[in-house]
Chains A and B, each alone.
Chain A
Amino acid sequence: MHEFWSAAIIGVSLGAQYALLALGFTLIFGILGVINFAHGGFYALGGYVAYSAVSGLGLPYPLAVLAAVLVTAALGYVYELFVIERFVDDHLATMMLTLGLYLMISTGLLAVFGPQSPEFSFPVKGSYSIGALRIAKENLVVLAVCGCAIGAIYWLIYRTDLGRALRALADDRQVATTQGMRPRLLFPLAFGLATGLAGLTGALVTPILALSPSAGDPVLVTSFLTVILGGLGSIAGATIAALIVGFIEAYASVYLGGSAGALVLFIMVLVILLARPTGLFGRQIRGA
């Protein structure tokens, strides 16, 4: 029975990580109409920035995580402002531009840090025991930080003027502009916010899993699957779908073996999309 509860805790922790990644991915799609293929790259970059801050500059881990968020958010902001913004309505161009950015980030990391995974471990060790059930402290820390970040994103999107403006731009950019909302100011902010979330997740998770220049590859696939499952552009859908994906991976790993999680996930997404092509919470998407 303790396996069931262990898997549940791992599932919630994984789900929270995926939710952070998926929220960023879906924010960019929902607001800008851009599918960000560089999302996994920002995840890996966040991990390497945190690693460099800890091992190179000797910063404490929390400050290293903050540095990762700031660097990835700033890079996302600048890339949107100077590159994506010029082609924001050209879906094919933005796909190529984000894919190109991903390749630049991953090859840049490979050139600077090499193909080997560096020694980068999570600073909090050990576990809590409740009877036969063991809960790793690192999972709880990641869960707590992800939970706070998700709460902050929801507050920003649903409780502030800025969030209302971003959602208005997502609904009808032209009319939102007539109400004084400035896409040229708000689009880079949204992009930077999303890439900062990917950087945060990378800084939190890569010390537990593994850090490598290609660490973003599976992240991109999982983020993409999660937002498709939740409904492209749906914030609530991305969060709920991320938890579903986290639980599937955790339970499939525990009961079916290591690689079965991804297989079960792909089959489930396929079945759900056959029944609901717009995903669990998706709306009809504007023409691409």
Chain B
Amino acid sequence: MLEIRDLQVRYGGITALAGVSIDVRQNETVLLVGANGAGKSSTINAVIGLVRTAGGSIRLDGKELTSIPCERRAREGIGYSPEGRRVFPSMTVAENVLSGAFGMGRRHQRESFDWLVSLFPFLAERASQPAGQLSGGQQQLVAISRAMCAMPRLLLLDEPFLGLAPIWVRQISDAIRQMQARNTTILMTEQMARPALKLATRGYVMRGGEVRRAGSVAEIQDSALAEEYL
């Protein structure tokens, strides 16, 4: 479904990605593992269009994404939850979630919101509260719900467990399982790899802007390189 080939990203003179190739098949959950600076977030940001690529290709169901501007990639069916949550702080919880389905019509928004509330009743309880006033875990759930609201084909999750208490790790894991149950394809990054590996079907270990190892979850867990991150 998602084919990344020889992807290169540079920030000024610094190479962030040096020829990364990754495949994500339909209905898979693929995990990118690696330390800070390994290139995980740069990969996700290149797929959503937040960073300009210096070379290589990104194809979603055969369609080249690198020439499509960031704001149009959401319409290609890509949902994105950024690292550090980044909810819209002055907007309410409900507005944050609904903004994920911008331009999709009131009916779609209402149905998606009702479905998300059935999964996470907290969204209804805090619907009119500014998202900037929530705890880190609550904000993460809002950010993921925002990404889920459009019912994307491909969901990009950048460090969804970062800095969260165990109770919120379980809640976020449940949210991801719900999207898996709806046959959503997921590409996620995580430094805190153990809870993420429970959700993934395959993984890639990254270091220094390159893929060092790829394989099933079991293979990733067994790899000596991955030991550093698990």
Contacts and interface: CB of A to CB of B under 8 A. Distances in A.
Contacts of B99: 164-165, 168, 176, 179, 181
Contacts of B75: 180
Interface string B29-64: 000000000000000000011100000000000000
Interface string B66-92: 000011111100001010001011110
Given A164-B95, A164-B99, A165-B99, A178 B74 contact: yes
B74 A283 contact: no
Q: Chain A CB within 10 Å — which of B48, B80, B98, B103 has the most?
A: B103
B100 A179 contact: yes
A181 B71 contact: yes
A142 B86 CA distance: 42
A161 B106 CA distance: 9
B91 A179 contact: no
Nearest to A30: B90
A176 B70 CA distance: 10
Nearest to A283: B90
Interface in B99-114: 99-100, 102-103, 106
Interface in A179-224: 179-183
Interface residues of B, number: 25
Contacts of A171: 88-91
Interface in B117-155: 146, 150
Contact of A172 (B48, B80, B86): B86
B51 to A, nearest CB: 11
Given A178-B50, A179-B146, A165 B91 contact: no
A111 B45 CA distance: 52
A155 B116 CA distance: 26
Nearest to A184: B71
A167 interface: yes
B95 A178 contact: no
Contacts of A170: 90
Contacts of A164: 91, 95, 98-99, 102
A234 to B, nearest CB: 9
B111 to A, nearest CB: 15
A74 B180 CA distance: 47
Nearest to B95: A164
A257 to B, nearest CB: 41
A121 interface: no
B60 to A, nearest CB: 15
B120 to A, nearest CB: 19
Contacts of A176: 88, 99
Contact of A180 (B50, B90, B91, B102): B102
A164 B102 CA distance: 9
A127 interface: no
Contacts of A172: 86, 88
A3 to B, nearest CB: 41
A178 B90 contact: no
Contact of B74 (A161, A174, A180): A180
A183 B150 CA distance: 19
A135 to B, nearest CB: 38
B80 A168 contact: no
A167 B74 CA distance: 18
A177 interface: yes
B71 A177 contact: yes
Contacts of B70: 177-178
Nearest to B131: A171
A245 B72 CA distance: 43
Contacts of A168: 88, 91, 99, 102
Given A171-B89, A283-B90, 15 more contacts: A167-B88, A167-B91, A168-B102, A170-B90, A171-B90, A172-B86, A175-B86, A178-B50, A178-B71, A179-B74, A179-B102, A179-B150, A180-B102, A180-B103, A183-B71
5 contacts: A164-B99, A164-B102, A171-B90, A175-B86, A178-B80
